[in-house]
Amino acid sequence: MEIREIRENKTAFMDLLLIGDEDEAMINRYLEQSTLFVLYDSENPVSLCAVIKIDSKTIEIKNLATYPQYQNKGYASALLDFVYDKYKNKALILGTGENEKTLRFYRKRGFVEFDIIKNFFTENYSNPIFENGRQLVDLIYLKKL
CATH number where 109 lies? 3.40.630.30
High-pLDDT (> 90) share of the chain, %: 76
Picking from 92, 107, 95, 91, the residue whose alpha carbon sits closest to that of residue 140 is: 95
The domain in which residue 38 lies consists of 2-144
High-pLDDT (> 70) share of the chain, %: 100
Q: What is the pLDDT of residues 100-137, one digit of tens each?
A: 888 999 999 999 999 999 998 888 888 888 887 888 88
Q: What is the pLDDT of residues 41-100, one digit of tens each?
A: 999 999 999 999 999 999 999 999 999 999 999 999 999 999 999 999 999 999 998 888
How many structural domains are present in the chain?
Answer: 1
Determine which helix (DSSP H) or strand (DSSP E) holds 17, and give its type and residue range: helix 14-20
How far is it, in rounded angstroms, from Cα 58 to Cα 46?
26
